Amino acid sequence: MVDIQVSESSGVRYLHFSSNWVQGAMRIARPWALELDYTREMMAALLLRPDGDWPRSALLIGLGAASLTKFLYRHRPEARLTVVEIEPAVIAAARQYFKLPEEDARLSILVGDGAAHVAAAAERYDLILVDGFDAKARSGRLDGLPFYRDCRARLSASGLMAVNLLSKRRGVRDAMERIAEAFDGRALAFPSCDSGNVVAFAAAGAPVEHGLGELKTAARALKEATGLNLLPTLTRLETSRHCPGGRIRL
């Protein structure tokens, strides 16, 4: 069992595992908002599949401070959310300190190994979010080719996977190669956040192709609807090598 620690500074509550390394955060005055850069960027999936009813189902591997869970629960009320978290203490902390909603017909929280769950699951998901690390920033089987292949097999015809990678940890390039192999090249890494996180996306089913102009229009609509501002992310993307020709293709 991990040693859960909770700290607060300047109106933000943080989750730690036996170290100063942040596992999750919540601005106390805005518990439904996405406080950390990488969590906001993982929600760029909503720009890549801009249908307002998407996703109708999501699998979240790794709960942390429940930021992504709460955002989708609030802003995608028709979506069925399944969360798999290996540490029961993390779930308890999210309920006590981070306003994790109670389970209901829309939200199911399971204690278990994320890789094993994906390998055994029968359900298909529109969105799979992978954000699982231990106290030493290790993701274990959640960064293996078999796992990524299993994720692809579990995605629907409009499926996307978003993965939080750490650029300060060796192996991001290797991880991207594994993701690309599992998804037949339909993978893209966004430029590294200031925090050192790299968010990778991969697609199954229907093609994803958008110009930056389209994405900015979608980002303005998303900001109006949810308060989430992804325009800075798109500006970084525009000035990087990650978006050749001003278009994203997956």
The DSSP 8-state label assigned to residue 192 in this structure reads P
Q: Are 99 and 24 in contact (CB under 8 A)?
A: no
Question: What are the backbone dihedrals phi and psi of residue 22, each rounded to the nearest 5 degrees, phi first?
Answer: -80, 125
DSSP lists the bridge partners of residue 173 as none
Q: Are 42 and 35 in contact (CB under 8 A)?
A: no
Helix axes 67-75, 212-226, angle to 10 degrees: 80
Q: Which of these is catalytic: 113, 126, 131, 143?
A: 131
Q: Are 82 and 238 in contact (CB under 8 A)?
A: no
Is 131 among the catalytic positions? yes
Q: State the amino acid at position 85 in one-letter form.
A: E
Q: Whose structure tokens read 């996306």? A: 201
Catalytic residue numbers read 131
